[in-house]
Amino acid sequence: MPALTTDSLNKPVTHLKGVGAALAEKLARLRIYTIEDMLFHLPLRYQDRTRITPMGAVRRGDEVVLAGQVSLADVVTGKRRALIVRLQDGTGSITLRFFHFNAAQQKQFRKGVLVRCYGEARPGANGLELYHPEYQLVQTDQPPELADHLTPVYPLTDGLTQNRLRQLISLALSELNKAEVPDWLPAELFPDLPDLKTSLQLLHEPPPDAPVDALSEYRHPSQRRLIMEELIAQQLSLLKLRQEHKHHKAPIFSSGQDLCQQLTDQLPFPLTGAQTRVISEINQDMTQSSPMLRLVQGDVGAGKTLVAAMAALKAVSAGFQVAVMAPTEILAEQHYHSFQQWLAPMGLDVAWLAGKLKGKARQEQLDKIASGCPVSVGTHALFQEQVEFCQLGLVIVDEQHRFGVHQRLSLREKGRQGDTYPHQLIMTATPIPRTLAMSAYADLDTSVIDELPPGRTPIETVALADTRRDQVIDRIAAACHEGKQAYWVCTLIEDSETLQCQAAESTFAELQEKLPGLRIGLVHGRMKAREKAEIMARFKANELQLLVATTVIEVGVDVPNSTLMVIENPERLGLSQLHQLRGRVGRGNQQSYCVLMYHTPLSRNGKARIAVMRDTQDGFVIAEKDLELRGPGEVLGTRQTGLAQMKIADLVRDQYLLDEVNQAAIRLIKHYPQHPEPLIQRWLSGAEQYAQV
Ligand code: ADP
Ligand code: MG
Q: Which domains does the chain possess?
A: 7-46+151-217 (no CATH), 51-138 (2.40.50.140), 257-449 (3.40.50.300), 459-616 (3.40.50.300)
pLDDT at 532: 84
269 lines ligand 1 (CB under 6 A): yes
Nearest to 85 by CA among 122, 110, 54: 110
- Which carries the bigger pLDDT value, residue 638 or residue 260? 260
Sheet order of strands, 520-523 included:
459-465, 592-598, 562-568, 485-489, 546-549, 520-523
pLDDT digits (tens, 9 = 90+) for 248-275: 999 999 866 679 999 999 999 999 999 9
Question: Sign of the C-alpha dihedral, residues 625, 631, 632, 637?
Answer: negative
329-351 average pLDDT score: 91
3-state secondary structure of 521: strand
Instruction: Name the residue of 305, 330, 396, 554 to mutate for ligand 1: max ligand atoms within 8 A of Cβ.
Output: 305
Collect residues with CB below 5 Å from ion ligand 2: 304
pLDDT at 496: 66
3-state secondary structure of 449: strand
Ligand 1 closest atom vs CA 305:
6
How far is residue 63 CA from its own chain's centroid?
A: 35
Give the residue whose CA is nearest to atom 17 of ligand 1.
303
- How many whole angstroms separate alpha carbon 669 and alpha carbon 411? 27
Give the residue whose CA is nearest to atom 24 of ligand 1.
453
489 pLDDT more than 90: yes
Q: Nearest ligand, CA of residue 324?
A: 2
> What is the reported pTM?
0.72
Q: How far apart are the first and last CA of the chain?
A: 41
pLDDT at 134: 93
- Of the listed ranges 303-312, 617-626, 667-676, the least confidently predicted one is 617-626
Ligand 1 midpoint to CA 307 (Å):
9
pLDDT digits (tens, 9 = 90+) for 176-217: 998 888 889 998 899 989 999 999 999 999 999 999 889 988
- How many whole angstroms separate alpha carbon 532 and alpha carbon 497? 15
Q: Write the DSSP symbol of residue 634.
A: H
CB 583 within 8 A of CB 429: yes
347 pLDDT more than 80: yes
CB 486 within 8 A of CB 480: yes
Give the residue whose CA is nearest to atom 5 of ligand 1.
303
Q: Write the DSSP symbol of residue 101.
A: -
522 pLDDT more than 90: yes
Ligand 1 midpoint to CA 270 (Å):
11
Nearest to 305 by CA among 537, 554, 556: 556
Ligand 2 midpoint to CA 326 (Å):
9
301 lines ligand 1 (CB under 6 A): yes
pLDDT at 151: 94
575-603 average pLDDT score: 88
Give the residue whose CA is nearest to atom 14 of ligand 1.
558
- Which carries the bigger pLDDT value, residue 31 or residue 258? 31
272 lines ligand 1 (CB under 6 A): yes
548 pLDDT more than 80: yes
pLDDT at 97: 94
- How many whole angstroms separate alpha carbon 276 and alpha carbon 289? 23
Ligand 1 closest atom vs CA 449:
2
Q: Write the DSSP symbol of residue 13.
A: G
pLDDT digits (tens, 9 = 90+) for 359-390: 999 999 999 999 999 999 998 888 777 888 88
pLDDT at 552: 72
Q: Nearest ligand, CA of residue 584?
A: 1
Task: Report the 3 state secondary structure along 140-200.
Answer: CCECCCCCCCCEEECCCCCCCCHHHHHHHHHHHHHHHHHECCCCCCCCCCCCCCCCHHHHH
Ligand 2 midpoint to CA 421 (Å):
25
pLDDT digits (tens, 9 = 90+) for 58-81: 999 999 999 999 999 999 988 889
588 lines ligand 1 (CB under 6 A): no
619 lines ligand 1 (CB under 6 A): no
pLDDT digits (tens, 9 = 90+) for 294-311: 989 988 788 999 999 999
5 pLDDT more than 70: no
118 pLDDT more than 90: yes
Ligand 1 closest atom vs CA 270:
23
Q: Confidence band (pLDDT; 50, 70, 90) for 593?
A: very high
Nearest to 326 by CA among 372, 376, 386, 373: 376
pLDDT at 633: 67
Give the residue whose CA is nearest to atom 26 of ligand 1.
453
- How many whole angstroms separate alpha carbon 446 and alpha carbon 282? 10
453 lines ligand 1 (CB under 6 A): yes
430 lines ligand 1 (CB under 6 A): no
pLDDT at 3: 39
558 lines ligand 1 (CB under 6 A): yes
Instruction: Name the residue of 306, 334, 398, 448 to mutate for ligand 1: max ligand atoms within 8 A of Cβ.
Output: 306
pLDDT digits (tens, 9 = 90+) for 215-245: 988 999 999 999 999 999 989 988 888 888 8
The phi and psi torsions of 295 (rounded to 5 degrees) equal: -105, 125
CB 305 within 8 A of CB 336: no
- Which carries the bigger pLDDT value, residue 414 or residue 450? 450
- How many whole angstroms separate alpha carbon 569 and alpha carbon 83? 49
306 lines ligand 1 (CB under 6 A): yes
Ligand 1 midpoint to CA 310 (Å):
13
Q: Confidence band (pLDDT; 50, 70, 90) for 639?
A: very low
Ligand 1 midpoint to CA 446 (Å):
20
Give the residue whose CA is nearest to atom 10 of ligand 1.
301
Q: Nearest ligand, CA of residue 299?
A: 1
CB 652 within 8 A of CB 644: no
693 pLDDT more than 50: no
DSSP string, 458-519: PEEEEEEEGGGHHHHHHHHHHHHHTT-EEEEE---SS--HHHHHHHHHHHHHHHHHH-TTS-
595 lines ligand 1 (CB under 6 A): no
pLDDT at 687: 43
557 lines ligand 1 (CB under 6 A): no
pLDDT at 520: 96
Q: What angle, rounded to 10 degrees, do the helices at 221-246 and 196-204 form?
A: 130
pLDDT at 487: 95
Asked if the bond preceding 431 is cis, omega within 30° of 0, the reply is: no
410 pLDDT more than 70: no
| C-alpha atoms less than 13 angstroms from C-alpha of 140 in its C-beta half-sphere | 5
440 pLDDT more than 70: yes
Percent of the chain at pLDDT > 90 equals 57
Q: What amino acid is encoded at 345 in this protein?
A: P
pLDDT digits (tens, 9 = 90+) for 422-436: 999 999 877 777 777
455 pLDDT more than 60: yes
549 pLDDT more than 50: yes
- How many whole angstroms separate alpha carbon 337 and alpha carbon 340? 5
Q: What is the mean pLDDT of the chain?
A: 87
4 pLDDT more than 50: no
607-634 average pLDDT score: 86
Q: Which whole-number Å values give the CA distances from 38 to 15, 35, 200, 534, 630, in the listed order?
A: 12, 5, 11, 57, 28
Ligand 1 midpoint to CA 306 (Å):
7
pLDDT at 641: 47
Query: How do strand 63-76 and strand 114-124 relate by DSSP bridges?
Result: antiparallel
